[in-house]
Structure 1
């Protein structure tokens, strides 16, 4: 039981282990992690989905919890490694032993809307309580588990569904695919229903390797706590992002690589310019790119594993157009990488460009965009969420994560910085001029 402040009461009242509804076949008992999977630390990506009380839904709170557990069990049969275990945090394979996923239920005496405001204003304790066993970036006493779920019931009847997924087994695309499949099973009651999303996961059989690839130095300390960090959310409507695109184009003139900048590219450039102007660090920006479409042939979006290319953006000119130009150049360099199987067989991670990050491993800002992933459409049977969140909160990384707004009319930037830097960042006039009023 946690008592936060003078009024908020948060109580955990149930804890279960949910196992797959059907046993994993013997020939699938070992799932080898790829070299790319080994390249990331064993930490947990935290996704929260907030659901207001849907007055038209006839399901009780107990009904909703029961349906979540049943459908979770059914969906784990298809995503069988998620119910397995790592023997150690540095293991190179998953033992697909069907030990299951922890499912925690909690009650919170706050209204959901108030709680959502609180997690953008208060410390990490308010955020942590939403996740099973505090599986938020850092390792936990249950560090060999791969997935954890917590359902929190709020006083108003609203709910929060929090999913923690080990980054070693998958990236944000996998989190999205799995949760979307799980929700569709819950909504229709069966994995065989004709309307269940056909998100058949693809598991690549990586070569058996006993050689552990240590995580990139930049990320190896991501599981250490940092009390000096704060997280804030800034919202940028599409209308303002269109204005920002026009500003970038006007600034660039006839410069190369600026044709048709995306809203994500221009927002990254604005955020980076703000960081350079308001913080004491200026060593570059590490940004990510989903590599599934870069390989030849393309890797299906439902492929499980880490398919994230890391790109280091460093420019002596932090102007909007210069940063956008640099991002586009890096993307072009990462396109048309040869087949994923060849990269794995030849241990050619250098082909992906990740080696360039090592010289500045502990210095740059980090940014990731999960825009276009349908987190805001995840419907377990009682409607779409009123909000979703993935952030760098509780990691030692500083930077930002970009997500679509719930209504699709803009982008949310979840920014994590040291406290003194955030004081200056959130006052930067150019950045605020493109924010929602």
Structure 2
């Protein structure tokens, strides 16, 4: 492993990168992404990727630094850890039958436990025998969200292609709009509210692919109002989950069902924040069913849109001013003592599928999916990603007791394909 440093040093006045209030609310840990590229990535091309990465880190200097403490990063130019690993297989064979156990090996192993001194980003190129690569990116969620990672990758790709674009300085509107609040204690932060719903269970991974044609049919059948691809898949996953929990809990005292959905604040602010705004600019909407019952998909679609609509320009304004403490206290008071929890997030429509380093766009993308043996506690989770030809992939990790009931849903059976070939 080597460390890629910015091609020019970070100015002293930028050495300390202070997080925003919203950064404070994020889970303290790493997030993961893999982009898969077919082609012949020779040693010369890999060296070119390193050199263009070095130039990109001049703008995205926090990624070449380390975690200083819970509220800041040290942009010390120590370098971004970068490694190259060999995969004794052909990518085309792997993509015909994606294997999660192999996918999870594409990430560099953790150097140590989370804490001060951690690298903010780590990259590993996994080189297949055929010359294709799987580029894995591991980044600290305290510093950035997936939209910021997409912006960084787009800039890196432009540098790799030699497009000669001039990039503005790092957009730090999050820090100016949502100044950090060191006085906030851990028990006032949202991830601690939700952490009480983590469970020690065996989780099962499922990958469901909704093709563009299937989504068009679903949108036409289920809604007389405007909905997005993400809205439709979110509603389907929620309906499946409610039905599975209801079935499994029959004859028992049933806990409320709590669902959260990550919302991109860049597009909710008035006026909207630029898409290249750096940091974490997301907030979790939530829905709670105290007496869950099966619902029609159109009804769930309305609830999804209504729930997300609550996070509007006024919400963003208040979050950045006098309303932050009120929102956090309100959130804490609304959380039941016990609940069956489903967390959802979408990485669709943020440009990840368009990132081209000169050899073509990625043919696929994936995230790290921990097995039960890799985590002490977990939660039911769904990640939505762009798929080829305008579809959506839903990656779910579910408590094993819900899987059978989840897959009985007619919409899953008729409109989703289970772990199909990528190519």
Pick from 302, 314, 319: which aligns with 1:337? 314
1:44 alignment partner in structure 2: 30
How many residue pairs align between the two structures?
395
2:94 alignment partner in structure 1: 115
Equivalence map 1:225-236=2 (5 Å):
228-236=202-210
Partner Cα distance (2:288, 2:258) in 1: 5
2:172 alignment partner in structure 1: 203
2:252 alignment partner in structure 1: none
Residue 266 of structure 1 pairs with residue 238 of structure 2: no
Give the drift of 1:429: 3.6
**Are the equivalent residues in 2 in contact too, given 1:366–1:398 (CA < 8 A)?**
yes
1:12 alignment partner in structure 2: none
Partner Cα distance (2:115, 2:98) in 1: 24
Distance 1:335 1:383, change over 3 A: same
Pick from 109, 133, 149: which aligns with 1:133? 109
Structure 2: state its 5+ residue gaps.
250-255
Partner Cα distance (1:378, 1:357) in 2: 40
1:375 alignment partner in structure 2: 352
**Are the equivalent residues in 1 in contact too, given 2:199–2:379 (CA < 8 A)?**
no
CA RMSD in angstroms comes to 3.0
Equivalence map 1:239-318=2 (5 Å):
239-249=213-223, 259-279=225-245, 280=248, 283-315=257-289, 316-317=292-293, 318=295
**Are the equivalent residues in 2 in contact too, given 1:403–1:413 (CA < 8 A)?**
yes
**Are the equivalent residues in 2 in contact too, given 1:296–1:338 (CA < 8 A)?**
no
Partner Cα distance (1:95, 1:362) in 2: 38
Distance 1:273 1:76, change over 3 A: same
Larger RCO, structure (CA 8 Å, separation 6 or more): 2
Residue 365 of structure 1 pairs with residue 342 of structure 2: yes
Pick from 380, 390, 400: which aligns with 2:382? 400
Give the drift of 1:275: 1.4
Deviation sequence 1:312-362 (CA, Å, 0-9, x none): 12344432122111112122221122665x634546154487546643686
Pick from 133, 138, 141: which aligns with 1:167? 141
Q: TM-score, normalised by structure 2?
A: 0.84
Q: TM-score, normalised by structure 1?
A: 0.81
Partner Cα distance (1:70, 1:357) in 2: 50
Partner Cα distance (2:393, 2:168) in 1: 26
Distance 1:336 1:245, change over 3 A: same
Structure 1: state its 5+ residue gaps.
1-14, 55-59, 250-257
**Are the equivalent residues in 2 in contact too, given 1:199–1:302 (CA < 8 A)?**
no
The answer to which of 97-106 and 204-213 deviates more is: 204-213
